[in-house]
Amino acid sequence: MQFLIRSACVVDTASSLNGQVVDILVENGLIRQIGENLSVGSGSLVIESDNLHISAGWADMRVLAQDPGYEHKEDLTSVCKAATAGGFTDIAVLPNTQPVIDDKGTLGYVRRMAEGQPVTVHVIAAVTKKAAGEDFTEMLDLHHAGAIAFSDGTHPLQNPDLLLKTLQYLQPINGLLMNRPEEQLLTRFGQMHEGIQSTLLGLKGIPALAEELLVERDLRLLDYVLSGEQGAGSRESSPGSERPAPSVLHFSTISTARSVELIRQAKAQGMPVSCDVAAHQLVFDDSALAGFDTNLKVNPPFRAKEDVAALWAGLADGTIDAIVSDHSPQDAESKNLEFDQAEFGITGLETIFPVLVTYNKGLSLSQLIEKLTTRPRQILRLPAVSIAEGQPARLTLFDPTRTWIYEHTFSKSKNSPFFDQSFTGRVVGTVHNGQFKPTK
């Protein structure tokens, strides 16, 4: 299949074409030619749009696909359609399914079901059996079977000895451990951020301390591993270098100012750590819960205004490496309840880019796109994507100035607080596996 992308502004700081408006000819899944005023044969598709921009295909590091086991909330087909509509060519799915992705059989099922989808699905396998935090999975076997990283996903690793041994076990295979920091003994029955707002609403709070203790603990454990014989030479040799060393430990969905500062300090010391933030954490603070809207019930919870400002600052200075959707589809029966009975989670695949553009706090377009492309791929050890002749065409097309209203979702679940909201910034489509998928 051949098609031409007409007059697109390249957004890719690693490319000599960055900022240039070019035509891109794609043929049989490869970028055949880049130039100006290119022509194609009659009958070939021409993709053009006002203020069209193009970048490497976006990658989301944290998606709860709910398949197998909870297909009534989401399945691999619907989550891939939602991801495509959101501009993603790659997603990494969490192991919290039923059964949990803790063996080669379940991992193989997900990989087979993902074949032929419009996005590439990468599987994060569980660290412990049933993600229960007790017995190790066969991580080496899972790695060879195609697991891209290891995490208990929505279940934070509580046992420090287990986390320590996981870091040691993954070192020989250059494996990545992803952990959402939460000391659950401090958050039991918690509903929202612990503060004045939770007191006014009469809801049990989730203290920021619960996250920060785990960030500090995990960093100390990583330092212990790196200081031992197994970790000799594992520290980044040149902190602040243009291409960081591969991350060994990744913190998922951090939410507090103190967490940002702890990770900033660790990076300054050359520790191979990385972190991400969920897009919705950059929009709301705990005051948004005054109306008890269960679509705003998430974990980690929306924090104080000062924390939101610190998250934006962490993105700006590179402390926070990636932005994720933390896509967590929940059916109506799980959300249309009293606030303290409702499940946590937001669907976010389709709204990540417009949320970032509409609520942007001073980051350049290039900085935002880097958090969706270059850094996630580096952290997950995925091959780099180049907008260059002869390279595979894995691309996202978008218009950062187009206004639109979010009225329709491809997800099976509707638990988004953004429905009927006007946004600036719209995905035009994706190019992947030789196909152009327009946003509908």
Task: Note the pLDDT tens digit of each residue in 356-402.
Answer: 999 999 999 999 999 999 999 999 999 999 999 999 999 999 999 99
Strand partners, 121: 91
Q: Which two tokens stand for residue 8?
A: 């697109």
Q: Which two tokens stand for residue 234?
A: 């594992």
> What sign has the CA pseudo-torsion 370, 316, 426, 153?
positive
At position 228, the amino acid (one-letter code) is: G
Strand partners, 193: 206
State which fold the 57-379 domain adopts.
Answer: TIM Barrel (3.20.20)
Q: Which two tokens stand for residue 389?
A: 């002749």
110-124 average pLDDT score: 96
Beta carbons of 380 and 274 less than 8 angstroms apart = no
Q: Above 80 in pLDDT, residue 235?
A: no
What's the pLDDT score for residue 342? 98
| Cβ neighbours for 120, distance < 8 A, ≥ 6 positions apart | 89, 90, 91, 114, 432
Report the C-alpha gap between 155 and 375 in whole angstroms. Answer: 24
Q: Above 60 in pLDDT, residue 230?
A: no
Vertex 153 angle, CA 375 and 168, to 5°: 75
Per-residue pLDDT band at 245 (split at 50, 70, 90): low
| Cβ neighbours for 250, distance < 8 A, ≥ 6 positions apart | 149, 176, 177, 178, 179, 273, 274, 275, 276, 379
CA dist list (Å): 68 to 116, 128, 328 = 17, 18, 14
What's the pLDDT score for residue 237? 43
Beta carbons of 105 and 146 less than 8 angstroms apart = no
The secondary structure of residue 56, as a DSSP letter, is E
The pLDDT tens digits for 55-67 are: 999 999 999 999 9
Beta carbons of 44 and 4 less than 8 angstroms apart = yes
User: Is the domain defined by 2-52+391-438 classed in CATH 3.50.30.40?
Assistant: no
155-164 average pLDDT score: 97
> What sign has the CA pseudo-torsion 301, 302, 305, 311?
positive
Helical segments of 66-186, H only: 76-85, 104-113, 139-144, 160-170
What's the pLDDT score for residue 1? 79
Active-site residue set: 326
| Cβ neighbours for 320, distance < 8 A, ≥ 6 positions apart | 254, 260, 263, 275, 276, 277, 311, 314, 371
What's the pLDDT score for residue 40? 85
What's the pLDDT score for residue 228? 79
What's the pLDDT score for residue 231? 44
Report the C-alpha gap between 74 and 94 in whole angstroms. Answer: 13
CA dihedral 316, 318, 320, 322 (to 10 degrees): 90
Within 10 A of 395 (CB to CB), how many other CB atoms are there?
25
| pLDDT-above-70 percentage for the chain | 96
Instruction: Characterise 19 by phi-psi region: left (phi > 0), alpha (psi -120 to 50), beta (else).
Output: left
Report the C-alpha gap between 402 and 87 in whole angstroms. Answer: 15
Please report, for the chain, the start and end positions of each structural domain, with discontinuous segments joined by +: 2-52+391-438, 57-379
Which pTM does this prediction carry? 0.95
Nearest Cα residue to 324 out of 381, 259, 396, 373: 373
DSSP 420-435: T-EEEEEEEEEEETTE
Mean of per-residue pLDDT scores for the chain: 95
Q: Above 90 in pLDDT, residue 99?
A: yes
What's the pLDDT score for residue 244? 57
